[in-house]
Amino acid sequence: MEILAADISGAPKGSVAISLNFKKLRIRGLGSAEVMSISYDPKAHRISMRAKVAAPLRLDGGYTIDGRVLVLPITGSGQCSLQLDDVTADLTLAAHEITKNGQKHLAVDKLSLSFDTSKLHMRFDNLFNGNKELGDTMNTFLNQNWPDILRELKPSIDDTFGAAFQALASRIFAKVPYNNIFLP
């Protein structure tokens, strides 16, 4: 899966006050996702699902960052790599029924996603205009403090991934009729 652009921000008054933009973010590892539970309410067209990603979830692509992490300033642009271990995700999808070419389909109204991970590994190349010493120090700092950083950024990350999966679900439901997804 690829997300062409994503903007993630930390709260301006929180311990992480950054603007983090991703471009052409490639996501690998989703193929190992296993659905742990799923429920569907046919009257409300609401799907709730919990999934576990068995393999590490890896995100690679371009980035730009500017702001402050805890007490340290951070700036840079270049390539980045993020890896999330032991990801569990909860997804809720709300939709409504439409008719397309004489067949019932679902149109996605909202998709919300929330995830947990046991570890976040981060690497941002070219921090501080390519200053290797400052960049290496910041990458070490980010990886040592990942729980605090993720806690601050998580609402924005959840929204970004929710929007990406909503677009994917919308494309699927637009092509596949209702009765081919939900069998009687």
Q: DSSP assignment of 52-110, as one string? A: EE-SPEEEEEEEEEEEEETTEEEEEEEEEEEEEESEEEEEEEEEEEEEETTEEEEEEEE
Token digits of residue 22: 């991703």
**pLDDT score, position 134:** 95
DSSP letter for 16, please: E
CA triplet 85, 67, 63: central angle to 5 degrees?
55
CA distance 40 to 130: 50
Q: What is the pLDDT of residues 166-176, one digit of tens each?
A: 998 999 999 99
**pLDDT score, position 92:** 97
Q: What is the pLDDT of residues 76-103, one digit of tens each?
A: 999 999 999 999 999 999 999 999 989 9
* Cut 0.95: pTM above it: no
